Amino acid sequence: MTAVSTLADSPEQVETVMAAASAAAAEVSAATPSTRAEWLEAIAADVEADVEELTRIADLETGLGPTRLSGEVSRCAQQLRFYAAVAVEGSWLEATIDHANGATPDLRRIRRALGPVAVFGASNFPFGFGTLGNDTGSALAAGCPVVVKGHPAHPDTHARLLDLAAQALSRVGAPAGVLGGVSGFAAGQALVSHAAVTAVAFTGSQQGGLALWREANARDVVIPVFAEMGTVNPVVVTPAAAAARAEEIATGCVGSFTLGVGQFCTKPGLLLVPAGSGIGDRLVAALQGAAPGGRMLTDAIAAGYDAGLARLTAAGARVLGRADAGDAAAAAAAAAAAAVLSVPASSVLTGSAVLEECFGPVIVLVEYADQAERDRVLGCLQGALVAGVMSGGPRDADVAGLVPMLAATAGRVTVDAWPTGVATTWAQHHGGPWPATSNPASTSVGAAALSRFTRPVAYQGVPTSALPEALRDECPWPIPRRIDGRLVVPEVTS
């Protein structure tokens, strides 16, 4: 058998790809985590080997530049290997055994793969959150076939990644249908309403994510949508930080909010600064010196950025400064010039469009008079993927109070680090309260990403031969299990 990766571009072809995914579901789920890890490692190796061509194709389609893109290819391969390792470690299965005890029966629980998962690739990370990114990697690791709807901004990258993966999967004997691809709006719609799809993973705009979420909620059998959507990520500069290192903060902030032409879901969108700190002027200066603007991913995204800036100024934000879009970029389509805007904190305390996301290289300074006003602004914010504090160092007394306040609105809290940059590790959480995600407990990056694509099943009085292997008294794999209430971790043998 060979692994299928048909690029369906019509609802009819979705049927073909989904039929293959459905047919593969039982085998993918029943494969051991080690087997699935081999599949992921094979894909990772082939992706790495193709870095030059992938970078070339993606740069033509996105303009994100070879340095950024080749680095993202490497990270994509690392992510696939990470999810392979997480699958093998086995904690995500939550294997739990309660032997019969007096009145309670023999009960055993494990997480089970849901079935075919639809992944909607992001515009801004063709490798990290695209065809073979975090969603696809974690779903395959958890035992689900995946059908990816590629983002229209980079169809050739999508096709190339699917081809690479199909060859790698075929080489290591993965079942046909373990990974498939579709393209186009109609195909995406057909995918979400397809009876055999069991979950949807999405990275992108609030508009797109909420549309998918509504569509999934309107199904006869409602399925979970894990939509990781853009948010306004706030960063608070404490008075001590502003006093000690305004220049450094301004430079760092410009680097963060203009990274990838501001097209990161973790872009800082609000910078809360003490009034009169002079950080606004320093930001404008840093912007002129460092960030030439650039080409956004698509004309529509560039037009959305312009409309967003107009909305922010209409809502009362003052333009402190704009970058030069750069000669080449300005002449090209989809050009965008970075911008620094400002509002007094007092103007947003009863809610304001200034507090809503504008996708692109813009940051809004919110100047607060004192701690009370700063805290009131924080109480007005929407849920966010990430929130940060820039401190005056270890003795800055503001940090201990700010961290829990920010944790109440965000999925990740950083101190003295800009929010852009999401490491794929065991402790990572890339999610956050509504509307950052449609499911505030789920993450699209890190070890916990696998469990999105599973649900627990309890087995009561089931004879050994009919139990999943990981729930038998003698488990064939060295995984952590909870036995009669006690967590038992296998000894490290390496």
Q: Helices 66-89 and 134-142 meet at what angle, rounded to 10?
A: 20
Q: Judge whether 385 and 231 are in contact, CB under 8 Å.
A: yes
Query: Is the CB of 107 or the CB of 244 nearer to a copy of itself?
Result: 107
Largest alpha-carbon pair distance within the chain? 79
Hey, how many other C-beta atoms are within 10 angstroms of the C-beta on 328? 11
The one-letter amino acid at 145: P
- The CA distance from 74 to 67, in Å, is 11
Q: Least distance in Å: CB of 101 to a copy of itself? A: 8
Catalytic residue (choose from 72, 89, 228, 373): 228
From the CB of 485, what's the least distance to a copy of itself, in Å?
Answer: 5
Closer CB to a copy of itself, 322 or 429, in the complex = 429
Shorter beta-carbon distance to a copy of itself: residue 162 or 265: 265
- Could you give the CA distance from residue 400 to residue 379 in angstroms, rounded to a whole number? 17
C-beta closer to a copy of itself: residue 12 or 484: 484
Identify the H or E element spanning 366. Answer: strand 362-368
CB 421 within 8 A of CB 466: no
Burial class (CB in 10 A: 0-12, 13-18, 19+), 45: middle
DSSP state of 194: -
Compute the distance between CA of residue 267 and CA of residue 331 in angstroms, rounded to an integer.
25
Q: Is 228 a residue of the active site?
A: yes
Question: Cβ of residue 417: shortest distance to a copy of itself, in angstroms?
Answer: 5
| Rounded least distance, CB 462 to a copy of itself, Å | 5
Residue whose CB is less far from a copy of itself, 7 or 413 = 413
Whether 27 is catalytic is no
List 76, 144, 253, 265, catalytic entry: 265
Distance between CA atoms of 22 and 27, rounded to whole angstroms? 10
Q: For residues 94 and 117, give the distance between their C-alpha atoms in angstroms, rounded to a whole number.
A: 21
To the nearest whole angstrom, how small is the minimum distance from the Cβ of residue 457 to a copy of itself?
5
Positions marked catalytic: 228, 265
